[in-house]
Amino acid sequence: MSDDVQYPTGFCLRDLVSWGTTSLVVLDNAFDIVIKAPLRSRQPRSVYERFAQRGGHAGLLVYHGVFESGIRLEYAPRQNLRLHAAQVAEAIRSVHDSRVIHGDLTCADFAGSSIDDSPLLVLITESHEFPGPILSVRTDLFALSSVLYEIMTGHPLYEGLIDAEIPSLYLNGQFPQIASLGAAGIIIEKCWKDDYSEAGEVVEALQVINPIGFGGTLRLKKYGAVSVPSC
């Protein structure tokens, strides 16, 4: 991929909110929304259009239409995501109800998701990859546990290990120690062990946990590596 990143018309480095391997996001202060511009896949547009057709969901960013080759989305500034773990699971249930399989569920977005059983357009992140059928609800539930682990600990799963070392750990049932996470840790472990069949079960389990247990500050991190030019 070329390092010559093209910003949406009228935007530059000072407007940059985040970036990754498939897209960059700039803030449109005039309308208090963000513009997600693709660097590779344009799949997010189809995914968000599907969600809009179904009336959207409180746990998903509001879709405001297209902007050039990108999309306009609700702006969600940094928040304490640990207070909203159940909402994350609820949002995934809504995604599945829309016949969308995220496929590469991390703390990122819908860059290569499957719609109506279409092939995934990205490689699955090793630390979130279900050791079974890829295009399935259980793929996302397995990855959801890794997302919840990162939300609650502030550290990516298997931090410091190379990707090639991770699959064998999963196959052997070797997961991080999560006793310190209490009831939330039990839920995460059950996702890893494929004990849930659909996201609604995870939602119900998380909703009974005292929200105080999710307190703390999440350390945001960038995904992927791309040179971002100045204005």
Cα–Cα distances in angstroms (integers) from residue 30 to residues 15, 43, 81, 103, in the given order: 12, 26, 26, 34
Distance CA 167, CA 153 (A): 21
pLDDT in tens, 34-47: 999 987 666 678 88
Domains and CATH numbers, the chain: 81-214 (1.10.510.10)
Q: Which stretches of 61-147 are assigned E, i.e. beta strand?
A: 63-67, 70-74, 100-101, 114-115
Longest dimension (CA), the chain: 52
* pLDDT 10s digits, 99-149: 887 765 665 565 556 677 776 655 566 656 666 666 778 888 888 888 888
Place of tokens 């050039």: 68
Amino acid at 89: A
Q: Is 24 left (phi over 0), alpha (psi -120 to 50) or beta?
A: beta
pLDDT (tens digit, 9 = 90+) per residue, 28-82? Answer: 999 999 999 987 666 678 888 988 998 888 778 899 999 998 999 998 775 545 5
Distance, in Å, from the CA atom of 36 to the CA atom of 201, rounded to the nearest integer, reads: 32
**8 A C-beta contact, residue 75 and residue 87:** no
